[in-house]
Amino acid sequence: MAKPKPQRIRDPVHNLIEFNSKQFEHTLWKVIQTSPFQRLRRIRQLGFSEFVFPGATHTRFAHSLGVFHTARQLMSVIEKYVNSHDQQFKDRQAEFALTAALLHDVGHGMFSHAFETLGKEFGWPMAKHEDVSQRLIREGEIAELLDGEFGNGYAANVADIIARGVPNNLYDSVVSSQFDADRLDYMQRDRLMTGVQSSGVDPTWLLANLEVAEVPTGADETSTGSVETLVLGPKAAQAAESYVLALFHLYPNVYLHKTTRGAEVLFQALMRRIVRLHGSGEGEKSGLPLRHPLLRFISEPADLQRALALDDTVFWGALPLLLEADDVEVRRLSLALRERRLTNCIDLRRRVEERLPIKSGERREQHQARTKLVCDEVIGALRELQQHDPDQPARFLLDQYVRNPYKRFQDSKSPLNQILIRLSPDKVTDMADLSPVIAHAEPFSLNRVYIFRDDTDAAGVIENIMRTKIEESAKQ
């Protein structure tokens, strides 16, 4: 039997991503050719970001290849350390982790997180990408290939890494941590493809200064347990700080851009309308035939194959049908998306923060807490208004999100999930304890309301509710 040929892929971020002719990487190359993995070509990494950044058309497919490439670089650091300390490199655990890195996003639905939000709202089992990824790895084409090449149980071990969500050992940390292959790839890829000039990272320097160290597993010095984890050398301290801040800045600049989120809430409003019509037996009023993949999934959201039939191209291909719907609301929302006639954004948090009086002796964190409470009450009131008559057209499209720039040990409960800096041979410090900037960085929080441009009264309704809630808060 002829030896398999090595394979190469030209990538805009990593240049060449190579798969050698050995059994492990040759098998992963075959995994890439499977139908579930090829489906990722039809799911864009950044969903609706193309509405703002025309170059942001890269896919989950390209990102997944980049994550594997980066994970392999991280794993080589581990192997070098283990070999230099007369320890046994755990090839099997490394292969489990590298396979998980390649397959970590295989279960994403159309428009990724925008669709996943709908899944949470409606309780759709097959809309959570981690659950779909596990199913695809544990059963079907991918599972048969992995278990056939590497032995029964291999696919289950890979799926377990994704299921845990947090690293269980040094090798897993390459797949899932605050300094993992996923982040290292998408931070570079998304910055490049959107064209934003901020949020740069220095992956070459970070990888060159990456080490392995044994650190305590507890939060205090009395801890008796320890674990080996990736750490950065002292020369990379500034680069590590820049890495955390770069990721934090990508959120307001790219992922949470008001126009991108505006397109997402339009898509979600359209899907809600289709779900409502279908649930009341009027699915055909959406303009879609009952056998359309969207309606078939809504009918059976626990069916894996119906979930896999959905991707970005299915939705965009449905737009001509949706534009001819009998339902006026479906036509309105579809036209807004197709023609990029997006809604106006009201930054509720900024407005409340500016107008909420600071009480005597009130600390910043107390004022921030009151701001959040007022925003929550305003959004709750708007949501209640819409629930009075759900058959009426969507009027207030609501958007809330909170992101911490960095998780401290008390949140992640494991040093395997931390970004650690080695200050001296026997002293390793958490990034947040070393950097006052990161230590004092507040969570990025948004509270937005999107309204249609032709709704002349909507802004006034929001203003009146907001004024009332601010006055109530000031009196308390």
pLDDT at 196: 95
Helical spans, DSSP H, in 251-322 = 258-279, 293-299, 304-308, 312-322
Tell me how far apart the alpha carbons of residues 413 and 362 are, in angstroms, rounded to a whole number: 32
- Please state the length of the chain: 476
pLDDT at 444: 85
Quick check: 223 pLDDT over 60? Answer: no
pLDDT at 1: 63
Helix axes 91-103, 141-150, angle to 10 degrees: 160
DSSP 290: T
pLDDT at 219: 57
pLDDT at 450: 97
- Record the tokens describing residue 43, joined without a space: 């799911």
Residue whose C-alpha is closest to residue 441's, from 451, 431, 426? 431
pLDDT at 25: 97
Q: Which residue has the tokens 């950065």?
A: 232
Tell me how far apart the alpha carbons of residues 415 and 279 are, in angstroms, rounded to a whole number: 47
Angle value at C-alpha 162, between 161 and 164, nearest 5 degrees:
70
Q: Half-sphere exposure (CA, 13 Å, Cβ side) for 111?
A: 23
Tell me how far apart the alpha carbons of residues 340 and 354 are, in angstroms, rounded to a whole number: 31
**Range name among 38-47, 163-172, 254-263 with the lowest pLDDT average:** 163-172
* The residue type at 271: M
Q: What is the chain's mean pLDDT, rounded?
A: 92
The SS3 call for residue 55 is: coil
Catalogue all structural domains in the chain, each as residue range(s) with its CATH number.
7-195 (1.10.3210.10), 343-405+442-476 (no CATH)
Cα–Cα separations (whole angstroms), residue 364 to 100, 239, 243, 278, 323: 43, 29, 27, 48, 49
What is the pLDDT averaged over residues 182-186?
A: 96
Residue whose C-alpha is closest to residue 473's, from 362, 388, 383? 362
pLDDT at 411: 67
DSSP 44: B
Task: Give the tens place of pLDDT for each residue, 72-116.
Answer: 999 999 999 888 888 889 999 999 999 999 999 999 999 999 999
The SS3 call for residue 408 is: coil
The SS3 call for residue 231 is: strand
pLDDT at 405: 85
Tell me how far apart the alpha carbons of residues 98 and 109 are, in angstroms, rounded to a whole number: 22
Task: Give the tens place of pLDDT for each residue, 253-268.
Answer: 999 999 999 999 999 9
Task: Give the tens place of pLDDT for each residue, 395-408.
Answer: 999 999 998 888 87
pLDDT at 87: 85
- The answer to whether residues 393 and 266 touch, using CB atoms and an 8 Å cutoff, is no
Burial of 113 (0-12, 13-18, 19+ CB in 10 A): middle
Q: What's this model's pTM, rounded to 2 decimal places?
A: 0.94
pLDDT at 376: 95
- Record the tokens describing residue 99, joined without a space: 């396979």
Task: Give the tens place of pLDDT for each residue, 417-476.
Answer: 889 999 888 889 998 998 999 988 888 889 999 999 999 899 999 999 999 999 988 877
Determine what percent of the chain falls in helix, strand and coil, rounding each to the nearest 5: 60, 10, 30
449-462 burial by CB neighbour count: b if 16+ within 10 A, else e?
bbbbeeeeebeebb
Q: Half-sphere exposure (CA, 13 Å, Cβ side) for 417?
A: 16
pLDDT at 160: 96
**Range name among 231-240, 277-286, 327-336, 424-433 with the lowest pLDDT average:** 424-433
Q: What confidence category does residue 410 fall into, taking pLDDT thresholds of 50, 70 and 90? A: low
Task: Give the tens place of pLDDT for each residue, 126-136.
Answer: 999 999 999 99
* The residue type at 326: D
Tell me how far apart the alpha carbons of residues 235 and 158 are, in angstroms, rounded to a whole number: 34
